Structure 1
Amino acid sequence: MPPPCPRTGGRAQRLALAALTLVALLGLVFTVQTPPAAAALAVRIVATPNFGGNYDPDQWVPITVALANDGPGVSGEVVAEVPGADPPLRFTQRIELPTRSQKVLTLYAQFPPRAGTASIRFEAGKESVPAAPVTLRELRSGQGLVGVIVDDAALGAELTRAIVGAYGSATFETVTVAPDEIPGNTFGLGSFSALVVGDASTGRWSAEQRAAVAGWVARGGQLVAAGGPNWRKTGEGLGELPPLRPTDSRTVAGLPGLAALGAGNGPSGQAVVATGDLLAGATRLADQDGASLVATRGWGRGTVTSLAFDPGTSALSGWGGANAFWRKLALDTPRPAALQEPFSGGYNSYSGSAQVANVLRDIPGLALPPTWLLGLVLLLFIIAIGPANYLVLRAFDRRELAWVTIPVLTLLFAGAIYVVGAATKGRSVVLNSVSVVRVSPGARSAEVAAFYGIFTPTRGVRDIALSGEALVLPFSPNGLGDNKDLGGDVRFEQGAGSAARGASFAQWTQRTIAAQGVVDPAAVILDVELRREGQKVVGTVTNRSQSAVEDALLVYDGAYQSIGSLAPGASVAVDWRPSATQTGSYNSYGRGLGTAHYYSNSTGQYPGNQPGQMGVTGHRASTLDALSGTVLDFRGPGYSSGGPYSPPTFTPSATATPSATSTPRPGTRTPGTPTATRRTPTPTRTPATPTAANKPVQVLFWRSDPPLDLKVSAGERYATTLVIQETFPGATTQGVPSPVARSVAPVEGGR
């Protein structure tokens, strides 16, 4: 066999070299274009529900989440997923975790009854790190929650046993709370009926935590602040809440002065009592040798009680009158209805959520065209495909083409109607909102419940962001928390970027959400100066803001009085004797304040059932009806009249009070709440029933702008904003400490 040709061998070598080069190039390409596999998240997460996981359904539950990042820096979000929700209901908060960092945040979520557990996780892109499931404990029906805030858990256990011993476990669930557990959002305290601050380092509280406690009291919470040897440490974070402003302390041999609030003699043995001044408006419940042992004062709708001693001492725990003493503090006093209460139940046609949802759907620009116009279009269509089509085809002698012209004319008419409708109704986003602002007496707080309806002409996924910080959640006619219309990917983000992100919209549909937040009272209030004269309420209401308010009402103990609209700077005199209010002929629409005021005696126009037909009057009437009997102190009579109405009997003031109380003007110090009109603690375990003597007058009026707006580019915006300003007529001023009684002379050596 002849030897191989050298040329052939060279060609084979060149082909092999080319193949190797191609493989190398392909490897280089894939090396450049294929990203390296992402490293697994090196994040550790621990989630703990505050307050032992005890919660009241429909209240916000704070969950403390601690994160540590042992790897590269990462951005993500902490997610709390509500169990049993379909589609999933998720509350989130964004967080940045630099390399080797540790951070702690508080996430808020609402849980339904019998939630049991909740899942918390950290997500970054498609990766997630779950925390161990958190355990939740729902309060029993009719059971309140009392938190004992102390540094020492053993001391907290002693106090919780004393409270349960006085009221019983059916009345209260008690929990020991570390000072750091207090959340920075006031709605995170909504499950509590009362808080007892014992030997606790409240000075560690941030400004947000202090404001949260003050706002919770202003909305009706009961706060008890202890004194004793560590009065400085206990009171440092409470500011001007306690009615006793200690300046020193002294040691006493027993507390016989507590016999007035207990059974038998007072506790024996040495005790340390804080001494100082009582603030204006405070009432002594027990004193000893001229020193106030127990004093109370109203703060908004709530009450703050100062104890000059430490209730956790062995002297008090071993006292036979301890149960009677705790009951006299009346921690079981019913709280006012929460602002979200009318919107938390299931659906019925007259529920608060259904009525507000009707207002949100009532968009004037989306009203159906008038019947005559629909009839005219239908008549033209019939003429076009009938006689006109026939005459034209006959003129051209092409009647056989009718099977073509009739479908074509039908499509042309349908297309024309669609184009005209889209051009006039469906090119822009429409935002409709209903906001309710409740200002507590003395303008101590202003909480907002806001509801938004967003109509879009196109389908897609949208982020709905708020202009301010608030807690966002889904809303529908079924109530708060119903997430069925927003899609399975929506997330309710908290923090500076409060929003509903990833909400799903179909074409020409409306989606609804809700938000809870707080605003500056000075931006919304009127100057209200009211006092009591016998069975009458007299005084003035002045609008010192730069914008007009409309259709103002006074509401008190089931009665109401219109005082009209107020232009900027305008004032109206009040001389009102509350009397029975009867609803008129529109009882089938509902028997709330809106019906009584706007539709009694056949005045006004009954709201229609189609979008755009309710009008401003219908929007306001539905909003008032939604709040009647809960947030508003008005419940109209039923179809059958009850017994004769008795005007409220005003309880005489126990201490001298000014003739009127001014609500604060912007930039001025806020006034306080009365003590004479507040509930007097009783020794019974049965919760006291609110009476006219301890109810505030509610001043209702309408403003033009929503307090919490959405960052939505909308072609049309409609807003219904109700302000409920509460005031106790003749309340004493409560602000900068103004001593009305000196307890005792300072004693050297006190802490």
Structure 2
Amino acid sequence: MGAKQVWRWLSVLVMLTIVVVGQLAPVAAQNTDVRLTVRPAFQGFFHPGTWLPVEVEVANEGVDRTAEIVVGPTGGPFFSTTLDLPGGSRKGVTVYVYIYNQASRIQAQLLVNGTEVATATAQVRSVGEGLLIGVVGTQQPRLPAQLENGSRITTVPLTLGDIPADGLGLSPFDALIFTDVAADELRSDQREAVRAWVLRGGTLVINGDSGLAHTLAILPDDVVPVTLDGFVSPLADPPLRPLRLIPRTFAVDQPFMVPLPKLPDGLAWGRLYGDGQSIVLGFDLATPELVNWSGWRALWQVLLPPSQFVPPNLVSIAKLYSTFLEENLASALMSLPAFDLPSLNLIVILLGCYVVVVGPVTYLVLRRFDRLALGWVVVPVVTLIFAVIAYSVGYTLRGGDVIISQLSLINTYTAPIVRERSFVGIFSPDRSTYRLRSTDDGVLTRPIGVQGPWSSEVLANGRYLQGISDTVVEGLEVPQWSLQAVATDRVITADVLEAQLVINGDEVQGEVVNRGVRTLEDVVVVYGDLISRLGSLAPGERRVSRLERPAYAYDGISLSYLIYGEQFDAMARMARPMPPDLQLKSRVLDALYGYGTAIRGKQPLVFGWYTTPETTIMPVDRRATRQQIALVHSMARLHLETGKAVTLDAGSFTGIFERITNTSSPCYSGNVLGAAPNVEPVVLRFMLPRDLIGLRPDSMTMNVRADMFWSGQIEVYDWVDGVWVLLPTEPVFQISSVEIPQPERVLGSHGVLRVRMQIRDQMQGVSCVYLDPTVQGRLP
């Protein structure tokens, strides 16, 4: 037999072996009696780091079953619920799936007694940059594919029936446009979902079509800033027949007039609500002539929010700012509590026994057997035995404990409707699998990384249960001496903390009331670099104090050092480490207000702490040591006399990046925002404190500072004409203060100042350029 024939027969034998082994290999059971269909909501569009509702439908043509539905992207995390399936039934269920990265497919599995009997997959589409806009209603107004600042727009048509029952299900959207909803209604849970989505940061735009009155009636009352009062005079360019909008009155966050370029005042009103806003229009966005109108693109630039994505050179993968911030907060869970030392009596007894045994007892025994030469062997053996005993005693006392580290944030801007976010870390002394339960049956739980905002993936083992009693996680595997974390995000009802500031010249006086049921510790009021530390505040207690600048304060001081600087300095003088609770508090405050792509400005803030969070998560069947702390934070109200002159000096504006590309880098210097612009322009957005929205400026100055001599141009946006206006700066400068002409046109009635800058000379070196606007004006 030739060599070629030998190789041919060997090849045939190998192929036959592969076929036989393949036939004998076990496969997942597929039951033809059960059919599974999976349909992602919103045509599968989502932002990375958001929840996507997934509709799963099961048809059972066989025997009665109780099944588990598990849904998630490839690699996880996986979310699960149970479903009773009588024979011959067809049932559907919504599973909320958290998608961390830019997944392209999700998979649903149907498990019976842990065995897979059916699977289905569906395609999803990640929107890794730009804005994702949902248009709810029968009309579909045309939106531009890209805004003036370069942000791309992805639009998804929706019906009222597509609104999920939980506000987290709307988290993929940056904005929702309600237009011509006809006679359709929202269920009560859908209304609450819309409210919760706005509170978490969504922008709700309500179109001024013929059905506007009905649309306003079906939406939550506190996100509707106006009432209707007939029509106003028609417009010729563009041809519109506007409605008259009458702003309503609220306890906080009064409605503001939205500046619409090239249109008369009063055609749009908005209101801030939590971290989001709602805007009502007095005209129809679907008017055909609007598309060809000269101010069409500028109109959408005003109505839609800035992109939430973090500048790409700050993160390893595309992330929303909320994800970036929460991962920074979750990293604070690594500040685990130190174990208490054993009692002094126990230590004295162990040491005493060791000294007695290793000394006189060893000597007497060895002399009795005439083996004193073996002392060099016996002493190390006795020492090792006592070391094992000491370790065993320590492990028995505390070393085998699981540690639960929980951090909760309660944002009470919109009390009594407030947002509670909790981050819970499970530290395991051994490699073990955990089952977790929650005090809230309806909470949605997801994994979160604890490696900080630069993490590129989220640890996704285990299954995250929905609607299954109080159990929220099963099969969470934690390696030995490691920590895994989960997160929750709820909207609850609570009256917790209120504060107001009265400003009289250079004097600022604060009044704080604890309206909760718990005593708050370390209560502090902050306005710029002025603070007042109030200590503990009992339920119902009211405290009035004056805010002052601490002696240790300096320009650009971090918020944590501004509040706790005296304690920090005392620890440093005594060469003592910072107490764990103080370290944890400082990390939380700096994560919230001192790190990221935004600056705090002179937001009037109030903080308080307590140790019994509203929602707790605990392991089942394992003893655990708890470290838990909750931060209550709110915006204090500013009281200023109407018509009285107001001066906002350096560092007064809150600033964010509206648009920044890979060719530029963000820069930070204390409470001042800047960038190192390159060929493409950088757009920054500066905002007044909430209670000063509507300020009528008499004069404005843009203070500019560069790290080195810089040649570039700085422009401000004219809200009246919808154009950029070049500021008269020197061709080359390092420090400059430029008077802004016609400040009433560039500081919008909604309290926003847009600034754009870029280099003139592409050959110059990279330099950070910091912008700090100041303003003088009066409240109407």
TM over 0.5: yes
Question: What is the Cα deviation at residue 234 of structure 1?
Answer: 2.7
Matched, 1:438 2:426: no
User: Is the counterpart of residue 222 in structure 1 residue 198 in structure 2?
Assistant: no
Letter in 2 for 1:704: T
Paired residues of 2:417 and 2:492 also in contact (CA < 8 A)? yes
Instruction: Determine if the alignment matches structure 1 residue 103 to structure 2 residue 91.
Output: yes
Partner of 1:138: 127
Aligned length: 595
Q: Deviation of residue 148 (structure 1)?
A: 1.6
Equivalent residue in structure 2 for 1:313, among 270, 283, 287: 287
- Pick the aligned partner of 1:707 from 581, 593, 614: 614
Matched residue, 1:33:
none
Cα offset, 1:217, TM superposition: 1.7
**Could you tell me which of 461, 465, 471 is aligned with 2:444?**
471
Structure 1 residue 514, shift from structure 2 partner: 2.3
Structure-2 separation of matches of 1:116 and 1:362 = 40
728 and 343 in structure 1: CA distance in 2 versus 1, 3 angstrom threshold: same
Q: CA contact under 8 A between 2:524 and 2:607: conserved in structure 1? A: yes
Task: Give the whole-Å Cα distance in 1 for the aligned partners of 2:84 and 2:457.
Answer: 31
- Contact 2:446/2:486 (<8 A) preserved: yes
Note the 1:604-615 alignment, pairs <5 A. Answer: 604-605=570-571, 614-615=579-580
Instruction: Give, in angstroms, the shift of residue 464 of structure 1.
Output: 0.9
Cα pair distance change 1:201/1:131, threshold 3 Å: farther
Provide the rounded CA distance (Å) in 2 between the counterparts of 1:577 and 1:394.
76
SS for the counterpart of 2:270 is strand
Query: Does residue 342 in structure 1 map to residue 344 in structure 2?
Result: no
Q: Is residue 617 from structure 1 mapped to residue 582 from structure 2 by the alignment? A: yes
Give the Cα separation in 1 of the matches to 2:506 and 2:144: 39
Partner of residue 419, structure 2: 447
Letter in 1 for 2:395: A
SS in 1 for 2:617: coil
| Residue identity matched to 2:337 | D
TM alignment of 1:54-73, pairs within 5 A: 54-73=45-64
Map 1:605-684; keep pairs closer than 5 Å.
605=571, 614-630=579-595
| Structure that is richer in strand per residue | 2
- Shift of the 38–285 alpha-carbon distance from structure 1 to 2, 3 Å rule, reads closer
2:512 corresponds, among 541, 561, 568, to 541
Rate the CA distance shift 1:604–1:116 in 2: closer, same or farther, 3 A. farther
* Unaligned segments of structure 2, at least 5 residues: 1-27, 311-319, 643-689, 691-780
* Aligned match of 2:535: 564
Aligned to 1:576: 547
- 1:332 lines up with 2:309 in the alignment: no
What is the alpha-carbon distance in structure 2 between the residues aligned to residue 456 and residue 607 of structure 1?
A: 36
**Match in the other structure for 2:490:** 518
SS class of match (1:443): coil
**Residue pair 2:42, 2:162 contacting (<8 A) in 1 also:** yes
Of the two, which has the highest radius of gyration? 1
Task: Show the counterpart of 1:698.
Answer: 605
Q: Does 1:191 align with 2:169?
A: no
CA distance in 2, matches of 1:559, 1:60: 39
> Does the 8 Å contact 2:267/2:282 carry over to 1?
yes
Displacement of 1:49: 2.8
Does the CA-based 8 Å contact 2:47-2:172 persist in structure 1?
yes
AA in 2 matched with 1:101: S
Matched, 1:594 2:585: no
Cα distance in 1 for partners of 2:183, 2:404 equals 43
Map of 1:199-278 to 2, 5 A cutoff?
199-200=180-181, 203-240=184-221, 241-246=223-228, 255-256=234-235, 265-268=236-239, 277-278=246-247
- In structure 1, stretches of 5+ residues that fail to align are 1-36, 257-264, 345-350, 636-690, 735-751
Distance 1:305 1:466 in 2: 37
Contact 1:439 1:725 in 2 (8 A): yes
C-alpha offsets along residues 203-239 of structure 1, whole Å, 9 cap, x if unaligned?
Answer: 4433222212212222332211123222344334313
What is the one-letter code of the residue matched to 1:722? Answer: L
> Secondary structure of 2:325's match?
helix
Q: What is the letter of the counterpart of residue 268 of structure 1?
A: P
Pair 1:179–1:311, CA change in 2 (3 A): same
TM-score, normalised with respect to structure 2: 0.65
| Equivalent AA in structure 1 for residue 564 of structure 2 | Y
Q: Which residue in the other structure is 2:104 paired with?
A: 116
| 1:365-397 residue CA offsets vs partner (Å, 9 max, x unmatched) | 4x6999x99999789758745774344122233
How has the CA–CA distance of structure 1 residues 99 and 534 changed in structure 2, closer, same or farther, with 3 Å as cutoff? farther
Deviation at 1:466, TM superposition (A): 1.2
- What SS does structure 2 have at the residue aligned with 1:162? coil
Q: Is the 8 A contact 1:607 1:615 kept in 2?
A: no
1:500 aligned onto 2:473: yes
Tell me, yes or no, if structure 1 residue 79 matches structure 2 residue 80: no
Alignment of 1:124-163 (within 5 A): 124=112, 125-140=114-129, 143-151=130-138, 155-156=139-140, 159=141, 161-163=142-144
Give secondary structure in 2 for the equivalent of 1:545.
coil
Amino acid at match of 1:255: P
SS at match of 1:164: coil
1:147 aligned partner, one-letter code: G
CA distance change for structure 1 residues 357 and 609 in 2, over 3 Å: closer, same or farther? farther
Please list the CA deviations of residues 561-598 of structure 1 after superposition, one character each: whole Å capped at 9, or x if unmatched. 433321233222144377998479xx9xxx74334432
* Per-residue Cα deviation, 1:136-163 (whole angstroms, up to 9, x for no partner): 22322xx222222123xxx32xx2x334
Contact 2:604 2:636 (C-alpha < 8 Å) held by counterparts: yes
* Alignment RMSD (CA, Å): 4.6
SS of 2:218's partner is: coil
CA distance in 2: counterparts of 1:607 and 1:65, whole angstroms: 62
Measured at CA, do residues 246 and 596 of structure 1 come closer, stay the same or move farther in structure 2, by a change above 3 Å? closer
Partner residue of 1:603?
Answer: 569
Partner-residue secondary structure (3-state), 2:394? helix
Once residues 396 and 484 of structure 1 are traced to their aligned partners in structure 2, the CA distance between those partners, rounded to angstroms, is 65
Give the 3 Å change call, closer, same or farther, for CA 534–506 of structure 1 in structure 2.
same
CA contact (8 A) 2:498 2:636 kept: no
Identity %: 26
Work out which of the residue numbers 320, 330, 333 in structure 2 matches 1:357.
333
1:434, 1:607 → 2: CA distance? 30
Partner of 1:29: none
Whether the 8 Å CA contact 1:443–1:521 is kept in 2: the answer is: yes
Residue 82 of structure 2, aligned match among 82, 85, 94: 94
Alignment of structure 1 residues 351-430 onto 2, 5 Å: 352-354=329-331, 356-359=332-335, 361-365=336-340, 384=357, 388-398=361-371, 409=382, 412-426=385-399, 429-430=402-403
The alignment's TM-score, normalised by the length of structure 1, stands at 0.68
Q: What SS does structure 2 have at the residue aligned with 1:392?
A: helix
Partner in structure 2 of residue 348 of structure 1: none
Classify 1:286/1:138 alpha carbon distance in 2 versus 1 (closer, same or farther; 3 Å). closer
Q: Does 1:725 align with 2:701?
A: no
Q: CA deviation at 1:463?
A: 0.7
